[in-house]
Structure 1
Amino acid sequence: METRKQYTKEFKLDAISLVLDQDHTPSEVSRSLGINANMLRRWIREYQADNTGQAFRGNGKLTPEQEEIRKLKIQIKRLEMEKRILKEATVFFAKETK
């Protein structure tokens, strides 16, 4: 079984640029780059549909909003742990003073 070829963001943007900016047809560009014309058309649709500048982020790449949510969740866990430790310390020291 053949593994899927993965293309870099720069490669995709260059291919899209050839079609959109330099007025080549998707068929011409796909033939010259050795890629499927339907795949190139899909890249163009994705690029045009994306108005956030986050097209072709790749696997594991988070949007700024997703990254902020991830950081906030980590901070919440840390604060909950600190709160639990402080409660346990309060109980411990209350027992010590009796």
Structure 2
Amino acid sequence: MGTCRYPAEFRADAVALARSSGRPIAQVAMELGVNHETLRTWVRKAEEGERPGVAAETAKDAGLARLRKEVAELKLEREILRKAVACFAKETGW
């Protein structure tokens, strides 16, 4: 099955029609000859794009996840070094 790329103007018009018509998305999609899940995705993305904080929150969450992972790695490295120091101290008689 191939994918079909719709022009941005068509997608915008389809989203506007789906929002303003009051009809179910599946019905609007059928009338336009578009898969209903495709139209639903367009509407969802348009709604997410209208909320200004969504992109910032997503970037912030990704940054927090990256920092948490880095902290976990650093803690593990610190623990390994702590054990190595204890091992070397035993060998050298410190």
Higher mean C-alpha displacement, 26-35 vs 72-81: 26-35
Task: Pick one of 85, 89, 94 that aligns with 2:84.
Answer: 89
Maintained 8 Å contact 1:15/1:40:
no
Distance 2:73 2:51 in 1: 35
One-letter amino acid matched to 2:71 = I
Unaligned runs of 5+ in 1: 1-9, 56-61
Task: Provide the TM-score with structure 2 as the length reference.
Answer: 0.52
Unaligned runs of 5+ in 2: 22-26
1:74 is matched with which residue? 69
How large is the Cα RMSD of the aligned pairs? 4.0
Give the structure with the higher percent helix: 2
In the superposition, relative to structure 1, how do residues 15 and 35 fare at CA in structure 2: closer, same or farther (>3 Å)?
farther
In the superposition, relative to structure 1, how do residues 71 and 41 fare at CA in structure 2: closer, same or farther (>3 Å)?
closer
Q: CA deviation at 1:82?
A: 0.9
| Secondary structure in 2 matching 1:77 | helix
2:33 is matched with which residue? 33
Task: Provide the TM-score with structure 1 as the length reference.
Answer: 0.50
Percent of aligned pairs sharing the same letter: 26
| Secondary structure in 1 matching 2:51 | coil
